[in-house]
Amino acid sequence: MTSIPLNLALDYAKSLGLLMLNSAQQLDHAPFSLAPSPFKTSAFQQAEQLAPDFSQLMVKVANDKAFLSEILKKLDTADNFTQRLGKLYQQSHIDTTATQSISLGIWRSDYLLDQNEQLRHVEINLIASAFPAFASRISQLHTLLYPELASQLPDNPAYAESVNALARAWQSYGVEDAVICFIQQKAERNRFDQLALATALWQKFGIRSLFKELESLANEAHLNKDKLQIKHTEVALVYFRAAYVPSDLYNEATWQARLMLEQSAAIKCPSLPYQLSGMKIIQQQLSKPEILVHFIDDKHQQQRLQNSFMPFFALDEDISAALEKPENYVLKPQREGGGHNLYGKAWTEALKHMSYKEKRAWILMQRIEAKTTENQLIMQGKASDKHSVISELGIYQSCLSDGENYQHKNAGHLLRSKFAHHQEGGIAAGFAALDSPQLIEN
C-alpha cells in the first residue's frame, strides 16, 4: 500500500468536510484511519443481507403495543429516563391514537467479527444513527488516497440514501412549503454530518431544514390543531439527532417539547415506539428463539438473525456461568451513545451494590472476542503508530412505515475502528475513528 503523508491525508479529509467541533467547540477534523481496514467480503455481504430482516423485525416489534408495554412494565422504576419515555409512550400511543401513523427509520446495525471471523451483532441503533454523510466521505477519502485499492473499496451510498429517505418521508407528508426540523443536542459537536444532510436536502430536493434544541422548541413551537408549527412554519418531519440520552431531556420544558413532537402530525424519524424498540433489553429479549418466532415466521430469516446474535441474560436469570468468567461478559445499561458499559470485574463489583430494582435496567451480553487488524488512527491532527485495532461494521438501512406496510432500503455502511486495548467504541465519545472496509477474500 502506498505510504501517505499525514498532511495530505488531513488536508483531503478537511476538504471533503470531515469536520467536527472539539469539546471546546473549536473546529477540528473528525478522527479517521489513515488506511482502510481489511474486512472479509462474505461477512460484509452477510451484514447487508441481514438489513431487510432487521427492518421486518423492528417494524413488527415497534407496532406490538402489548409487547412494548410489557417490557416497559418490567423495567418499572429501574431507570428514571426510560420510565419517563414509557409514560410518554402511554400518553401518545396507548391512551390516545397517534396522530401520525407514518414513521421514518434511518437505522444502523453494528457488527464485530469474532476471532473466527464470524459476524456478531453488537446492537441496532434506531435513533440518532449518526454519520451517514461522513460514512460516504471517509469511503471517498480512502479511494482518493489509495486509488490502487479502488476495486476493493465498496461504493458507499450512506449519504445519498439517507437524504433520499428524509426526502421520501417529507414527500409523504405532502405539504409543499413544510420544513424538516433536525433536533440537535446542546453544544452539538457532530454538526457537519448534519449540515451535510441539510445541504443536500436543499440542493437535490429544494427542502428546507431547521436545527433546533428541544428547549428552544418549548418556546418557539406549538400545535395548530395537530400541525407542528415553529412560528408560522409547518414541520413535515422531525429528525431526532438528540433526545436519546438523559442529558438531552434535562428539565420539564424539554420533556413537554418531546411530548408535543410525538403528539403532532409531523412524521418522526423515528417515532417513540421505534426509539423504545432500540432498547438493549429488547435486544436481549429478541435473542431468545421463542420470542423471535413471535415476530418472524420465516425459518431462514430466524436462522440468519440468530446466527448473528450473542447470548444475553437479564440479571434475574441464572448468571452463574457468567459470574465464573466475568471477563467473557459485558454489562450494559439502558443507555446509548457509548461509554456506559461495564467489563470484566467492574461489572461483578457493580452488581454487589445494585438493588433488585436497579438490576432490571441492565442486561448481560456475552463478550465478542473481536478479530484485530493493524492501522494508524488520526486524532487531533496526529497519527498514531501502527496499532492493533478492532473494526465495527455498521449497515445503514432506511425504513418508511405506516405500521403495517413498510419500504426498506439498504443505505450504505460505516466502519469505525478503535485501538484494540480500548473496550468501548464511539467516534463522538472519542474512542474510535471513521474507517472504511477494504474487502478481502479471507
The site for ligand ADP (CB under 6 A) is made up of: 110, 122-123, 310, 330, 332, 336-338, 340-341, 365, 367-368, 392, 424-426
List Cα–Cα distances, 58 to 1, 54, 71, 310, in angstroms: 41, 6, 15, 18
Q: Which one-letter amino acid corresponds to residue 220?
A: E
- In degrees rounded to 5, what are phi and psi of residue 385? -65, 170
Rounded to the nearest whole angstrom, what is the least distance from the CB of residue 137 to ligand ADP in the complex?
21
67 vs 244 by CB, closer to ligand ADP: 244
Residue placing its CB nearer to ligand ADP in the complex, 122 or 315: 122
Query: Are β-strands 233-240 and 267-269 bridged in parallel, bridged antiparallel, or unpaired?
Result: parallel
CB 439 within 8 A of CB 154: yes
Task: Give the rounded distance of the alpha carbon of 26 from its chain centre.
Answer: 25
- Smallest distance from the beta carbon of 426 to ligand ADP, in angstroms? 6
The residue number whose beta carbon is nearest to ligand ADP equals 425
Give helix 41-62 / helix 65-75 axis angle, nearest 10°.
90
Closest distance between ligand ADP and the C-beta of residue 88, in Å? 20
The alpha carbon of 200 is separated from its chain's Cα centroid by a whole number of angstroms, namely 21
Task: Kindly give, in sequence order, each residue whose CB lies less than 8 Å from that of residue 73, ignoring residues fewer than 6 positions away.
Answer: none
Q: How far is the CB of 246 from ligand ADP (least distance, A)?
A: 13
- Report, in angstroms and rounded to the nearest whole number, the Rg of the chain calculated over CA atoms: 21
Return the number of the residue (65 or 345) whose C-beta is nearest ligand ADP. 345
| Minimum gap (Å) between residue 115 Cβ and ligand ADP | 12
Q: Is the CA virtual torsion 70, 76, 82, 83 positive or negative? A: positive
Beta carbon nearer to ligand ADP, 233 or 423: 423
Q: How many CB atoms lie within 10 A of CB 140?
A: 18
Q: Report in angstroms how near the CB of residue 361 gets to ligand ADP at its nearest.
A: 14
- Cβ closer to ligand ADP: 61 or 322? 322
Paired with 387 in beta bridges are: 375
- Residue 212 or 371: the one with the smaller Cβ distance to ligand ADP is 371
For 4, 22, 34, the CA distances from 1, given in Å and listed in that order, are 9, 31, 11
What's the min distance (Å) between Cβ of 331 and ligand ADP? Answer: 10
- Our CB check for ligand ADP shows the closer of 200 and 351 to be 351
